[in-house]
């Protein structure tokens, strides 16, 4: 398997990867030093929700699936749905958490929308085709959810999603 990779790697150039220490400093990604901290459950929930949104947009754009992508969608949808249910119950019993370090303060209806998104995602990942009116409902729900959370990337930036 590793034989498929080129010997000299200098970045994603001309069908080769590159990673030569002389020319490629360590890449730094993620939070700024002053914002670094352990990831909390709210961080994971929002990240998984963003992933679910990308999965759904990819489906609506008719990007190819594949066995592992389907499995990933089903697993992610199940976890997002369970978290959304738990968070909605927490709000019902304890009210909104205004001290959350991640700033999550969504209304219960937001979590209902997230649950609906997860159910529909699970359905298309399992091969159930969504009729036009269901796809319209999915898009509308997706747009409402996206309005509530910050997104800095569009799926057109991610060309690897167009191949399976």
Partner 1 sequence: MREATIIANVKIAVIDEDVIVRDFIVSTLMYSVNREILTFDDGFDAWIYFEDKGFPDMIVADVSLQEVDGLALVPKIKKASPETIVVLFSEVPGNETKAREQGADVFLAKPFGVNELFNLVQTFVVEQDPAGDTSPHA
Interface residue list for partner 1 (CB under 8 A): 1-2, 4-5, 7, 9-19, 21, 24, 26-41, 43-44, 46-48, 50-51, 54-55, 66-69, 71-73, 75-76, 79, 152-153, 157-164
Which lies closer to partner 1 via its Cβ, residue 109 or residue 156?
Answer: 156
Taking the C-alpha atoms of residue 155 and residue 152, their distance in angstroms, rounded to an integer, is 10
- In whole angstroms, how far apart are CA 148 and each of 77, 131, 142, 159? 18, 26, 10, 26
Instruction: Name the residue nearer to partner 1 (CB basis): 7 or 147.
Output: 7
Handedness of CA 17, 20, 25, 30 (dihedral sign): positive
Nearest approach in angstroms of CB 164 to partner 1 is 5
Q: Which is nearer to partner 1, 144 or 156 (CB)?
A: 156
Give the number of other CB atoms < 10 A from CB of residue 46. Answer: 19
| Cβ neighbour number for residue 104 with a 10 Å cutoff | 17
Residue 14 Cβ, how far from partner 1 at the closest point, in Å? 5
Closest approach, Cβ 101 to partner 1, in A, equals 10
Rounded to the nearest whole angstrom, what is the least distance from the CB of residue 161 to partner 1 in the complex? 7
Spatial contact of 101 and 107, defined as CB atoms under 8 Å apart: no
Please identify, using beta-carbon distances, which residue of 72 and 135 lies nearer to partner 1.
Answer: 72
């Amino acid at each position: 398997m590793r034989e498929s990779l080129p010997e000299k790697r200098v970045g994603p150039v001309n069908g080769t990867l590159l990673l030569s220490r002389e020319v490629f400093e360590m890449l730094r990604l993620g939070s700024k030093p002053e914002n670094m901290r352990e990831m909390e459950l709210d961080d994971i929930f929002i990240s998984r929700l963003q992933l679910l949104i990308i999965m759904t947009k990819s489906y609506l754009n008719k990007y190819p699936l594949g066995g592992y992508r389907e499995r990933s969608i089903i697993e992610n949808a199940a976890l997002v749905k369970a978290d959304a249910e738990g968070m909605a119950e927490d709000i019902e019993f304890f009210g909104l958490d205004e001290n959350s370090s991640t700033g999550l303060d969504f209304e219960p209806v937001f979590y209902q929308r997230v649950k609906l998104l997860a159910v529909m995602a699970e359905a298309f990942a399992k091969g159930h085709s969504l009729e036009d009116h269901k796809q319209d409902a999915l898009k509308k729900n997706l747009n409402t959810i996206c309005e509530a959370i910050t997104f800095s990337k569009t799926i057109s930036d991610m060309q690897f999603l167009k191949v399976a």
